[in-house]
Structure 1
Amino acid sequence: MIIEFEGEIFRWEAREDSAWFFTSVPPELSEDIREIPRPYRGFGSVRVKARVGGSEWSTSIFPSSDGTYVLPLKKAVRDAEGLEDGGAVVVRLDVLDG
């Protein structure tokens, strides 16, 4: 399954010194991902190949408290693509689990 969406970049607020940044998969796409049969992984994670601009990497998305999945945006990708907290990001995900 391949999905594309635009999201907002946000910093993980659980710790003040956090340097973890994410974007949320929209609710309707998160629901589609949840419906894919797959083996359980730690924390409910789902393996994906992500693409933002010219950057592509393998990672996992994780369920959040609001029912959507969140995609971590590593520093190398944020730097290469000029991404900033509060900015917009266009994402393509190839869901590998399922």
Structure 2
Amino acid sequence: MDLEFSGQLWFWRGPAPWHFVTVPDDGCRQIADAAPFVSYGWGCVPVRGQIGDTQFETSLIPKDGRYLVPVKTAVRRAEALELGDQVPIRLVIDA
């Protein structure tokens, strides 16, 4: 499954601070359909992603009926991303 969307980069200041982009509702429904076949621990879904020219691997995190894309520091630096930026993302889920 391939998904392409844009979302705002935001920061969570919890005990393990991290940057995320929230998957839009339509994408979340598609991921939820595939999740039973590919998820592991706490419903995380492994994906291959791309932002700009930077490719990466991560796991989507389920939260309140949605999925969050963690955006690593190396990706943010390579693509010069700042908080609040609209980030175009491509995700590939091998289901």
- TM-score, scaled to structure 2: 0.91
Q: Which residue is equivalent to 1:7?
A: 7
Matched AA of 2:9: I
Conserved in 1, the CA contact under 8 Å of 2:9 and 2:87? yes
Counterpart of 1:26, as a letter, is: P
Residue 58 of structure 1 corresponds to 57
Structure number with higher strand proportion: 2
Structure 1, unmatched stretches of 5+, are none
* Residue 68 of structure 1: how far off its partner (Å): 1.1
Question: Alignment RMSD, CA only?
Answer: 1.4
Residue 42 of structure 1: aligned partner: 41
User: Which amino acid letter does the alignment assign opposite residue 69 of structure 1?
Assistant: Y
Match of 1:68 in 2: 66
Q: Which runs of 5+ in 2 are unaligned?
A: none
Normalized against structure 1, the TM-score is what? 0.88
SS at match of 2:68: strand
Change (3 A) 1:82 1:39: closer
Shift of 1:51: 0.1
- Is contact 2:46-2:59 (8 Å) kept? yes
State how far apart, in whole Å, the 1-side matches of 2:69 and 2:39 are. Answer: 18
* Displacement after TM superposition at 1:23 (Å): 0.2
Taking only the aligned residue pairs, the percentage that are identical comes to 36
Aligned partner letter, 2:20: F
Question: Where does residue 25 of structure 1 map in the other structure?
Answer: 23
Runs of 4+ more than 4 Å apart: none
Instruction: Output the amino acid matched with 1:32.
Output: Q
Shift of 1:39: 4.8
